[in-house]
Structure formats: C-alpha cells, structure tokens
C-alpha cells in the first residue's frame, strides 16, 4: 500500500513570497490533516478535512494560510505572504476513519520550508 | 485545552541499557493515546494506540503502558537503531476530537 505522498520535499523562499505544498493521502482515507512542526517541537494541527469539507481550522492563521481538498482526495496548503516564523516542516497525514473517530494517522515525509 | 508533556527532553543510553520515557497528559475524555517514532528528516511513524488505563502493547523492544494520567514507553535492551525522537499524542472527546502532540523525547543509543 502506497503511503502519504508530499511535494516538494524542500523549499526555500524569501519573506513575503508565496508557496504551496501538495499532499496525496493513502487511497480511501477519509480524513486529511496538515500539521506544522517547528524544529524541536511536536506537530501542531493547522487544518483537518473530512472528505472535502473542513472539520477544524481553528489554529490556521487564516490571514496568510489557506488550504483546500478538492474531490476529497489531494490537498494543497498555501502560504501568502510568508513570514520568517513560517520556517518549519509541514506534515500531511491521513486516516481511514471519519473525523472524530479514534484512528491511526499516517504521515507523509513532510516539506521543509525555509523563509529567508 | 488538552495538554501533553513528555520527559525527559533527551535521553542518552548505552546499548543494552533499558529505560522508560514518560508522557503526562490532561485531556477531556481520552479517546486514544498514540506513540510515534520520528527519524530525522522523516514524518512520524506510528507505533501504538492505547485506549484505556491498564492497557499495554508491545512491539519488539518497545512496550507502552497507560494510566489515567500518564503513559510510559519502556525500551528494553535498546540498540543503536532505536535512536530517534519518540512522540506521544492524545485524542480527546472535546472539540473536533483533534490529536494533540507532545514535544517528544530524543533518544540516542550509543554502541
């Protein structure tokens, strides 16, 4: 079974530029998550989708971050404009169960973003 | 708000020297407690899910246990390949039942 795919793996941009990350979850997984992991910290949930609807985006900085999950499969996370403090690894995860059910999350390799 | 505290932040062991990692949590209605392993430059890799106090799970040299306030990850006779950051996370019954992660314990096993 293929795992969660993410691209790009690395991205370096100047502050105030925009950037987008892509995620393809495990086939058949209903729930998709985007996390931000700053160096030395645990992952912090940014947004959670069930199929193509948003379940929780309470920690997403909506003035600069946006995300969508078209057709309930692939997802993109965008930052516009980027700030220095956005430098982090952005992890995508998916789980089989519907949002709210206890289920294992499977993570992709992450995208390491450096904002200069 | 759900909280997860892991200790120690870093642990250095000799190969074969057994030890335990701690995960203390506060959550409104525990739905599940998760342990993940994260290697440098990679995403977290699932190890265990524990659902209720008293539950234990084992996998090779790792054993996870759960009480009402904390979980332990016991590592028996570790090998250098066990070196990684171990993350603990909880899923509570409140809010959208999101998963909250701790900051992890960085384990180094020296040959």
A24-44 tens-digit pLDDT: 999 999 899 999 999 989 999
pLDDT of residue B1: 83
pLDDT of residue B96: 65
Q: Give B104→chain A minimum CA distance, Å.
A: 6
Contacts of A88 (CB under 8 A, 6+ apart): A36, A37, A38, A39, A112, A113
pLDDT of residue B29: 87
* Residue of chain B whose alpha carbon sits nearest to that of A54: B96
Kindly indicate the confidence band of residue A100, based on its pLDDT and cuts at 50, 70 and 90: low
Domain map of chain A by residue range?
5-99
pLDDT of residue A71: 84
The Cα B108–Cα B106 span in angstroms is 7
pLDDT of residue A49: 92
pLDDT tens track of chain B, all 111 residues? Answer: 889 999 999 999 999 999 999 999 999 889 899 999 999 999 999 999 999 999 999 999 999 999 999 999 999 999 999 999 999 999 987 656 678 999 999 999 999
Q: ∠A13-A64-A109 over CA atoms, to 5°?
A: 55
CB distance A91–B44 less than 8 Å? yes
Interface test with A, best of B3, B29, B44 (most A CBs within 10 A): B44
Q: How many domains does chain B have?
A: 1
Task: Choose the closest CB to B99 out of A45, A109, A112.
Answer: A45
CATH fourth-level superfamily of A5-99: Immunoglobulins (2.60.40.10)
Using a CB-CB distance cutoff of 8 angstroms, which residues of chain B are in contact with residue A112?
Answer: 41
A46-87 tens-digit pLDDT: 999 988 899 889 999 999 999 999 888 999 999 999 999 999
Task: Choose the closest CB to A42 out of B31, B49, B102.
Answer: B102
* Residue of chain A whose alpha carbon sits nearest to that of B35: A104
Assign residue B98 the CATH number of its domain: 2.60.40.10
pLDDT of residue A98: 65
Range of the domain at B22: 3-110
pLDDT of residue A67: 97
The Cα B37–Cα B94 span in angstroms is 26
DSSP tag of A105 = -
In 3-state terms, what secondary structure has residue B29? coil
- The stretches of chain A forming alpha helices (DSSP H) are none
pLDDT at position A99 over 80: no
CB distance B97–A93 less than 8 Å? no
* Residue of chain A whose alpha carbon sits nearest to that of B99: A45
* Cβ atoms < 10 Å from Cβ of A52: 13
Using a CB-CB distance cutoff of 8 angstroms, which residues of chain B are in contact with residue A109?
Answer: 41-43
A2-18 tens-digit pLDDT: 899 999 999 999 999 99
pLDDT of residue A70: 83
């Amino acid at each position: 079974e293929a795992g969660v795919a993410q691209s790009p793996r690395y991205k370096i941009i100047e502050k105030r530029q925009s950037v987008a990350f892509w995620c393809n979850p495990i086939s058949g997984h209903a729930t998709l998550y985007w996390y931000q992991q700053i160096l030395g910290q645990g992952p912090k949930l940014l947004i959670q989708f069930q199929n193509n609807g948003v379940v929780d985006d309470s920690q997403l900085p909506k003035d600069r971050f946006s995300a969508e999950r078209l057709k309930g499969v692939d997802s993109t996370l965008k930052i516009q404009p980027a700030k220095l403090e956005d430098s982090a690894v952005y992890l995508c995860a998916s789980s089989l169960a519907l949002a709210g059910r206890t289920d294992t999350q499977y993570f992709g390799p992450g995208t390491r973003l450096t904002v200069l | 708000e759900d909280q997860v505290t892991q200790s120690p932040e870093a642990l250095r062991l000799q190969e074969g020297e057994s030890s335990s990692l701690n995960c203390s949590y506060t959550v409104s209605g525990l739905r599940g407690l998760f342990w993940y392993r994260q290697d440098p430059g990679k995403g977290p890799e699932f190890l265990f899910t524990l659902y209720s106090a008293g539950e234990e799970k084992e996998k090779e040299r790792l054993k996870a246990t759960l009480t009402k306030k904390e979980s332990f990850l016991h590592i028996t006779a570790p090998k250098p390949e066990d070196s990684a950051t171990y993350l603990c996370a909880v899923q509570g019954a409140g809010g959208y039942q999101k998963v909250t992660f701790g900051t992890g314990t960085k384990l180094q096993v020296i040959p």
